[in-house]
Amino acid sequence: MDHLHEFFVPEAPPSVFYIPEFITKEEETHILDKVYSVPKPKWTHLSNRRLQDYGGVPHKNGMICEKIPAWLELYMKRITDLKVYGDKEANHVLINEYLPNQGIMPHTDGPLFYPTIATISCGSHTILEFSCTDKRDTVCNLLLEPRSLIILQDDMYTKHLHSISEVTEDEITDKCANLSKCKNYKLGQIAEREVRISLTIRNVPKVCKLKLWNL
């Protein structure tokens, strides 16, 4: 990951890389158009958000691969080319929609994925909060700007829980470990949340040879 050294966040536990403006405004608009143009059944509705899943359902016995739309493959390749999965390629994308006052409980992504999270944010900022496994002590926060890419590895993947609070606005504080790398926010600012679309692009190491589009 030496090629990403300028995006390394030393104020956070190992390891965080934050790239502001990873995509352009035009690409952000294109992503949002594609996300909202899918048939309604493509959305899975949860109690606090809705999501779309591409690539297949990760399973301990192996993921049966599903064909991924060409527009998503473009961004998957861009992440793969950063070598964040070593010599492996991105093969799974989870798209989440967060409305203001929606979030996600503290969790880790687990052993079914290569231990790296790469997430593109569109439409709105959010604050990703990290805590110890007892959920009591805050480790740090990360401010995710629209069009940014966050990459999490090592302890930030395996050891610490991550979550998003259910609020309508965020105060930008010195708990945001990556604030010095952010382009559009400053200390003490109150930022109102809008609708955020996140693209979490990952590698599922264990896959089945069977592919659904070959059936």
- Summary count for the chain: helices (H), strands (E): 3, 15
pLDDT digits (tens, 9 = 90+) for 132-188: 877 678 899 999 999 999 999 999 999 999 999 999 999 999 999 999 999 999 999
**pLDDT band at residue 29 under the 50/70/90 scheme:** very high
Instruction: Show the 3-state SS of 100-160.
Output: CCCCEEEECCCCCCCCEEEEEEECCCEEEEEECCCCCCEEEEEEECCCCEEEEECHHHHCC
Average of per-residue pLDDT values in the chain? 94
**pLDDT band at residue 211 under the 50/70/90 scheme:** low
Residue 197 near residue 96 (C-beta atoms within 8 A): yes
The predicted pLDDT at position 69 comes to 96
Enumerate domains of the chain plus CATH numbers: 2-204 (2.60.120.590)
Does the pLDDT of residue 215 top 50, yes or no? no
Residue 110 CA to residue 91 CA, distance in Å, equals: 16
